[in-house]
Structure 1
Amino acid sequence: MIKKFTQSIRQFAKMLTPRQKKFTTLLLVLMAGCGVLEVISIISLSPFLAIAAKPELIMGNAKLAWLYQATGVESQEAFLAILGALVLFVLLLANFANAQITYAQLRLAGSINASISSRLLQHYLHQPYKFFLQRNTSHLQSFVQTESVNLTSYGLVPLLWVVQKSINASLILIAIVVVDPVAAFGSAFAFLFFYLTIYIFVRKKLARLGKLVSKTNRERYRLVSEAFGMIKLTRIHELEDDCIKRFKPVAALNARCLATQNAVGMVPRFALEGIVLTIMMGMILYLIMTTNDFRDAIPIIGFYAFAAYRIMPSVQTIYSSISMMQFGWPRVQEVFEEFQSGDDTDSTSARSYETVDSVKPKVASSSDSLVELENVWFNYPATDEPTIRGVSLFIHPKTTIGFCGTTGAGKSTIVDLIVGLLRPQNGCIRIDGKKLQDEALGDWYKRVGYVPQDIYLVDASIAENVALGVPPEQIDMDRVISACQQANVAEFIDTLPEGYQSMAGENGTRLSGGQKQRLGIARALYRDPEVVVFDEATSNLDTETEQAVMSALKNLSHQRTILLIAHRLETLKFCDRVFQLANGDLVKEGTYEEVIESRLDTVS
């Protein structure tokens, strides 16, 4: 466990910002000061009890007598009241300090939790596109929204509790050593033996429970994401009970594991309280039988009782915090490992592919081409067969280019390569005659607009959806209106009561498929891109709606470079050039009429 402590401290130190490190250092200093107050409160109680039991001690002690006279009180009872008020003040001050330390710990934990979840989201969002092809998005959501909290809930917070309570317990034990070394070392050994014995028996079980909670938590996220993601199918096919049937046992197992962990952390406290109470009763009886005047034993009994009252919660908190860290260790490590996941360069181990026998057109280079692919090969991770096989082509500026082929032919992949979402294993992609490098991707992205097959609309106004990512107060409404006019959707928006400020609803629930698709086009045009990509943007639309969307596309022809992916050749009639792919090979290139005339058309 010591190794885990040191490892946790090193890992957390790397995660903290400079400001958080300074706050943590200050917090440790305050913890030490709080521990000193605890000891003072315990020590101050013993003299007060002695005087309360035997008031004659005031005049029998030179210092107390001087203090009595200095206060100017007229009776021993009044002097005792003043001493009691001072002791009470120290006790309340110690409690107030503990409360402030607790608040500071939780504030630090909240700050770190917000920082880590934001950094984890940032880490994910900066991963290459292929990273998201290999990961379940519900798992990523779970890590950002829930699992990242484990770094504080099962890591930082219990670690800080262990540090603070260890300081308190150690200082209290030092105070007991001054009074009775044997009792101090005996108490320390008893506490250590009691909790260490329990911990040895439960630590492996806690680790197993922690792994199980982590697994069931991700499974819960996945099931909920699936249930809401296919809500239409769920309703139509009456799958509500099936969704609940799959979710309920996972949620129940997760709850049982958490309950067991809490029980393991709390139950020893009750046994220890019984043991300490028995010891205290025995001590009282022993002092009664061995002391001539029982009043002489009251300060000692009060000192030990109050010391036990203060040290027991500290020792229990240390144990429960260590148990919590053991339980949450697998989950904490998973979050740390997530920061090491993915790639920073989107590089893939290079492969060499031999040219396969297929009908490959001879593509002449063009000095004025906007995009040029030269012998490009690509395969997705964990697949043996290449998805793109030695494709070479060029695209001129302000032309409309169509990509067609059957499902799995490589249409979307080739466009993802052109856009820069994927990087080829072999071959070269040039933009304006220059090789597309990682450092140039940002500039290239600014020149590209993208319209996916399924348009996702956020639950905000139409204007905010068109200018996605732009703060509402910075939206250029002239550009929004212009983009919507080019997308043939402005006329519809003008009929809405609130116009461009009308709410689209979650994922555009208040809009038709065609309206969503044209808003997607407007979104792409808002940033005035040089290249606009339509990734099967009309495949889910009916004929009438598709014609409306295609009308919007035709308006853009020869104003921008358009890359259009489609299953049906008919969709590509107005394209200047059509590339037909099959099994990753470029099998035909030409005008729409030339591709139609060829007998290599494999489009369904």
Structure 2
Amino acid sequence: MLNKTKLLLKNNLIIGTLIKIKDVLPNDYRKKSVRMMLLLFLNSLLEMVGLAAFLPLFSVILQPGMIHSHRLLSPIYNTIGFTSDNQFILALAGIIVFSITVKNTASLLIVRTQAKFSLTLYQYFAKRLHQFYYSKGFPFFKKINSNIILRNINTIPSQFANQMVLPMFNLLTELMILLLILTGLLLYDAKAIFLLALTILPIFLIFYNWVKGRSLRLENEANSIAPKLTQSIFQSVHGFADVEITNTQKRFSKRISDYIGQLVQLNIKRTVYNAAPTKVIETGMVITILAITIYGLYFLPDRAGLTALLGIFALAAYRILPSVNRIMLALISIKGYQFTFDVINEVKGFTPKQTISEKILFEQAIHINNLSFHFPDSSNNVLNHINLTINKGESIGFIGTSGSGKTTLMNLLLGFWQPTEGNITIDGTQLIPSTLQSWRVRIGYVQQEVYIIDASVAENVAFGLTNEEIDTDKLQRVLQQASLWEFVQSLPEKTNTNIGERGTKLSGGQRQRVGISRALYAGADVLFFDEATSALDTQTEEEITESIRSLADGNLTLIIIAHRKSTLKYCTRIVKIEKGNIQGEMKYNDLL
């Protein structure tokens, strides 16, 4: 029986969703949620007090002599020294108007606090999901569609905060208000009917004209930030390899979190603006009732109990109708956005690993020891018992047919995969997760398609850094080493020239030189070239090969994969790999 009751509660939309929200919230947010519930209850009491405040006003208006016979009102009347009943009634009405204004101001502050709580959840879960996906590493980014990752990092947390948590707060608030109002009405007169016959269109128009400009500026500002946020997420996801190699994941994570922080503040304002119309209309209704009261006191001699009753329930009705409307909207939103839990639950219990980085030196050689590897979804080895030594300062090339395993071997050397058997050591230190960060400080990676962001030459070379952080002397030096300096000097804004998304304003060879410059700027001791010239024409390939030759001066270690034999002409030795096995070593002349 108990289990069935629990199941029924979980299946209930409101209770089940509350349980789900509680389960995904981190501990500090769970504590904050208790405070939010207390604020919800306080807000409901304020709403009820606001309605009840009119009872004494209508009583003294419609019951002549009550002011002088009432045990509380009579002493107040005599102590303050009112000279007429009308004077007392006007003072009481003024106090009520002031109290309602204070109540509505407090209510807006509560709404702001609730919005801040919900929307900072957006920032928290977006950052957590970004960290979570990066913790999954290279295999995850190779397997999952990038658009799904982008949606999950940005859109889903926003929908969870705006369409799930906020509506739940609104729903609970309106349910409490509705319950208190209905209870009060039941106690006052069970046979009463509801009536609503007032409109405050002029007040609404004044408020709309006041808020529309502010709302427009808010949306424009949010609209200008959104592309920057999307761009930063896009760059960090699509540039995964470069982010990992340059150890700039924390920089991107912070940048994304900062942009989201700005959007959170704007969303808090938007929420307050959305909540304000109801409060303005309510205040307008109070002013309207005051005007009717003044008119009745001076121009309508009859006062009837029925009129008081209708007035009371008119006040109740004007609050009940919006509550019902908001409850319906909240239920539709909560029901429609249940799918957000599927993504949010991915980071339930996830804590970013605080990996202790072990230092790795490279003064002698890289040793590949009896290395075998197969992909997680396969039992067939891609590499079989590879043994190889790469000495510091040498240029080594790898050749082989497509699918032979040479790129997989490079990805193992880059740390994107871990060997199934055997290991890789650098000066005797094994390449494992705890030594990866130190190793990546020493390496650079030039892919077949260099990842170019929609930014300046300088920002592309000093990947992950802002303009203020870039060392201009170092920038010039690496551009000269990559034979790109003269070209950059011909650009309209030199190193500050925007080169377009994915380098659309550059040639293939120039994009490769940007990749080489990036690797050198990061201070690499080892440069990896993965088919860096395969998509280039013969002349450009020759130019890039000459640039590679100029780097092979004994200080840099070059590891080159190529299909074109000419790319390997300056390698000290060339290793042939076929079907996951080393077939032999040779010199460039042996290939001719």
With normalisation by structure 2, the TM-score equals 0.73
* Whole-angstrom CA distance in 2 between matches of 1:121 and 1:390: 36
Q: State the partner residue of 2:19.
A: 7
- The answer for the alignment partner of 2:469 in structure 1 is 474
Contact kept? 1:105, 1:160, Cα under 8 Å? yes
Alignment match, 2:431:
436
1:482-510 Cα deviation digits (max 9, x unpaired): 11111111121122232222222222222
Residues of 2 paired with 1:339 and 1:426: CA distance? 33
Asked if the contact 1:375–1:427 (Cα under 8 Å) also holds between the matched residues in 2, the reply is yes
Which secondary structure does the structure 2 equivalent of 1:529 belong to?
coil
Contact 1:533 1:563 in 2 (8 A): yes
Q: Is the 8 A contact 2:461 2:518 kept in 1?
A: yes
Correspondent of 1:322 among 328, 331, 354: 331
How much does 1:334 deviate? 2.5
C-alpha separation in 2, matches of 1:37 and 1:502: 58
SS at match of 1:401: strand
Over residues 516-549 of structure 1, what are the superposed CA-to-partner deviations in whole Å (9 max), with x where a residue is unaligned?
1101100000022111101111111111111111
Determine helix, strand or coil for the equivalent of 2:337.
helix
Establish whether residue 592 from structure 1 lines up as the match of residue 579 from structure 2.
no
Match of 1:53, as an amino acid? L
Contact conserved, 2:533 with 2:541, CA < 8 A, in 1? yes
Tell me which residue corresponds to 1:256.
Answer: none
1:383 partner SS = coil
Q: Secondary structure at the match of 1:85?
A: helix
Between 1:58-67 and 1:394-403, the stretch displaced more is: 58-67
User: Which residue does the alignment assign to 1:336?
Assistant: 345
Aligned to 1:146: 155
Which amino acid is the alignment partner of residue 575 of structure 2?
F
Separation in 1 of the partners of 2:474 and 2:429?
31
Note the C-alpha offset of 1:436: 1.6
User: What letter is aligned with 1:334?
Assistant: V
**Does the 8 A contact of 1:8 with 1:155 survive in 2?**
no
CA distance, structure 2, for counterparts of residue 436 and residue 43 of structure 1: 73
CA distance in 2, matches of 1:47, 1:12: 47
2:40–2:169 Cα contact (<8 Å) kept:
no
Distance 2:154 2:509 in 1: 33
The yes-or-no answer on 1:578 pairing with 2:583 is no
Name the amino acid aligned to 2:92: L
Q: One-letter code of the match for 1:378?
A: F
The equivalent residue for 2:224 is none
Residues 45 and 302, structure 1, Cα contact 8 Å, conserved in 2: no
Q: Summarize deviations over 1:203-234 as a string: whole Å, max 9, x none.
A: xxxxxxxxxxxxxxxxxx9xxx9xxx9xxxxx
**Alignment match of 2:50 (pick from 41, 52, 58):** 41
CA change 1:171–1:484 in 2 (3 A) is: same
Q: Residues 320 and 174 from structure 1, CA distance in 2 versus in 1: closer, same or farther, beyond 3 angstroms?
A: same
1:458 to 434, 453, 456: 453
Whether the aligned pair in 1 keeps the contact of 2:174 and 2:327 (CA below 8 Å) is yes
Residue 422 (structure 1) aligned with residue 417 (structure 2) = yes
SS at match of 1:390: strand
- What do residues 49-85 of structure 1 show as CA deviations (whole Å, max 9, x unaligned)? 1222233322332432222233433222222111212
One-letter code aligned to 1:574: Y
In structure 2, runs of 5+ residues without a counterpart are: 1-11, 195-229, 239-301, 356-361
Equivalent in 98, 106, 116 of residue 125 of structure 2: 116
Matched, 1:300 2:309: yes
CA contact (8 A) 2:61 2:303 kept: no
Contact 2:128 2:347 in 1 (8 A): no
Of 556, 564, 569, 2:565 maps to 569
What is the match of residue 389 of structure 1?
Answer: 384
Structure 2 residue identity aligned to 1:401: I
Q: What SS is found at the alignment partner of 1:382?
A: coil
Matches of 2:370 and 2:350, distance apart in 1: 31
The alpha-carbon deviation at position 564 of structure 1 amounts to 0.5
- Contact kept, 8 Å, 1:39 with 1:172, in 2: the verdict is yes
User: For residues 403 and 517 of structure 1, what CA distance do their matches in structure 2 show?
Assistant: 19
Q: Which amino acid aligns with 1:496?
A: L
Say whether the 8 Å CA contact 2:159–2:337 is kept in structure 1.
yes
> 2:253 maps to what in 1?
none
3-state secondary structure, aligned to 1:164? helix
The SS at the match of 1:567 is: coil
- Structure 1 pair 341–405 and aligned structure 2 pair: CA distance change class (3 A): farther
- Secondary structure of 2:418's counterpart equals coil
Which residue among 387, 401, 404 is the counterpart of 2:399?
A: 404
Cα deviation digits, residues 121-156 of structure 1 (max 9, x gap): 222233211111111111101111212212212321
Change (3 A) 1:125 1:138: same
**Deviation string, structure 1 residues 561-589 (Cα, Å, up to 9, x no partner):** 11111112222121112111222222222
C-alpha distance in 1, partners of 2:181/2:579? 76
Instruction: Provide closer, same or farther for how the CA distance between residues 42 and 343 of structure 1 changes in structure 2, counting only shifts above 3 A.
Output: closer
How far the C-alpha of 1:87 sits from its partner, in A, is 2.1
Which one of the candidate residues 495, 498, 503 is aligned to 1:503?
A: 498
Give the letter aligned to residue 520 of structure 2: L
Matched residue, 1:163: 172
Deviation at 1:300, TM superposition (A): 3.1
Alignment of 1:255-270 (within 5 A): none
Are 1:375 and 1:426, in contact at CA under 8 Å, matched by a contact in 2?
Answer: yes
- How far residue 447 of structure 1 moved from its aligned partner, in angstroms, is 1.1
* Letter paired with 1:419: L
1:126 paired residue number: 135
Q: How far apart are 1:30 and its partner, in Å?
A: 3.0
Q: Could you tell which deviates more after superposition, 423-432 or 328-337?
A: 328-337
Identity of aligned residues (%): 30
- Using the TM superposition, give the Cα deviation of residue 445 of structure 1 relative to its aligned residue in structure 2, in angstroms: 1.0
Structure 1 equivalent of residue 65 of structure 2: 56
Contact 2:372 2:385 in 1 (8 A): yes
Q: Shift of the alpha carbon at 1:371?
A: 1.6
Distance 1:341 1:115, change over 3 A: closer
1:69 paired with 2:78, answer yes
CA distance in 2, matches of 1:145, 1:538: 36
SS state at 1:55 partner: coil
Query: Are the aligned partners of 1:47 and 1:299 in contact in 2 as well (CA < 8 Å)?
Result: no
The residue type equivalent to 2:90 in the other structure is A
Which 10-residue stretch deviates more, 507-516 or 553-562?
507-516
8 Å CA contact 1:369, 1:396 repeated in 2: yes
Cα offset, 1:453, TM superposition: 0.9
1:424 deviates by: 1.5
Q: CA deviation at 1:384?
A: 4.4
Write the distance in 2 (CA, Å) between the matches of 1:25 and 1:341.
23
Counterpart-to-counterpart distance in 2, 1:405 and 1:343: 39
Residue in 2 aligned with 1:202? none
1:102 aligned partner, one-letter code? V
- My pick for the range that moved more, 2-11 or 122-131, is 2-11
**2:528 aligned with 1:533:** yes
Greater mean deviation of Cα atoms: 420-429 or 503-512: 503-512
Name whichever of 67-76 and 149-158 sits farther off. 67-76
Change (3 A) 1:119 1:469: same
Change over 3 Å in CA distance of 1:123–1:395 after alignment to 2: same
Structure 1 339/533 Cα, relative in aligned 2: closer, same or farther at 3 Å? farther
SS at match of 1:48: helix
Q: Please list the CA deviations of residues 250-288 of structure 1 after superposition, one character each: whole Å capped at 9, or x if unmatched.
A: xxxxxxxxxxxxxxxxxxxxxxxxxxxxxxxxxxxxxxx
Distance 2:43 2:363 in 1: 74
Unaligned runs of 5+ in 1: 188-220, 230-292, 347-366, 598-604
